[in-house]
Amino acid sequence: METLYSTTLASPVGPLFLAASDKGLVALEFDARLPGQQTIRPNPRDLRSESDALSFQNSGTRMSSYTCELEEYFTGNRRKFSFPLDLRGTPFQLECWHALLEIPYGETRTYADIARAVGRPQGFRAVGMANNRNPIAIVVPCHRVIASDGSLCGYGGGLDIKRKLLQLEGALSGTLAA
């Protein structure tokens, strides 16, 4: 059984659940999730044994480097995260998530841009599904991905949080900021 260290961080976009392995951050989840959205956290009402592979140890001390950098991000004093990530997904998801990590702070890309970046120019829907499965919100910046027409669409934390994150980064034009 693998032990993940975890904590919950109060943030301007609501409570954030963080979990890390010895290799790096495994999950950053919004406390309020949309119906059907995946989570790494065990559900105490779920009697299935699928959570047997993971155990969680609440440790603010072990998670302090992650929480410190996130707090700096939310105060506008950090544009890039320096802590290690332990991304877990399919090869295609990993390709997409690494492409997201290349989007600079304060900029956006379209799903089609990401599809081209991973060598699948017609795969914008598959990119959208990979974004939907992104286990490390904010740090792996799927909030920086917008529709080809420039509108905000699809975000695990909800469009209001996506808008707030893009406003924090100065990435919204006047029409999208409203």
Question: In one letter, which amino acid is 17?
Answer: F
Q: Among all residues, which ones are annotated catalytic? A: 142
Residue 177 binned pLDDT confidence (cut-offs 50, 70, 90): very low
pLDDT, average across residues 31-60: 66
- 23 against 172, higher pLDDT: 23
70-90 pLDDT tens trace? 999 999 999 999 999 999 999
Quick one: what percent of the chain has pLDDT higher than 90? Answer: 75
CA 112 to chain centre: 19
Q: Which residue has the tokens 């991973």?
A: 118
Residue 175's pLDDT is 47
Residue 39 binned pLDDT confidence (cut-offs 50, 70, 90): confident
Residue 85's pLDDT is 98
pLDDT over threshold 50, residue 49: no
> pTM for this structure?
0.88
| Alpha-helical regions (H) of 29-158 | 64-74, 91-101, 111-117, 124-132
Which contiguous run of DSSP H or E holds residue 29? strand 25-30
Report the DSSP beta bridge partners of residue 16: 9, 30
- 106 against 53, higher pLDDT: 106
What domains lie within the chain, and their CATH numbers?
Answer: 2-74 (3.30.160), 91-177 (1.10.10.10)
CB 155 within 8 A of CB 162: yes
Structure tokens at 42: 């065990």
CB 55 within 8 A of CB 42: no
Residue 96 three-state SS:
helix
Find the range with the poorest average confidence among 30-39, 93-102, 125-134.
30-39
CB 63 within 8 A of CB 6: yes
Instruction: Indicate the Cα dihedral angle 17, 21, 25, 30, nearest 10°.
Output: -20
Residue 172's pLDDT is 81
Question: In one letter, which amino acid is 31?
Answer: D
135-172 pLDDT tens trace? 999 999 999 999 999 999 888 888 999 999 999 999 98
Cα–Cα distance for residue pair 19/56, rounded to 1 Å: 8
Residue 133 three-state SS:
coil
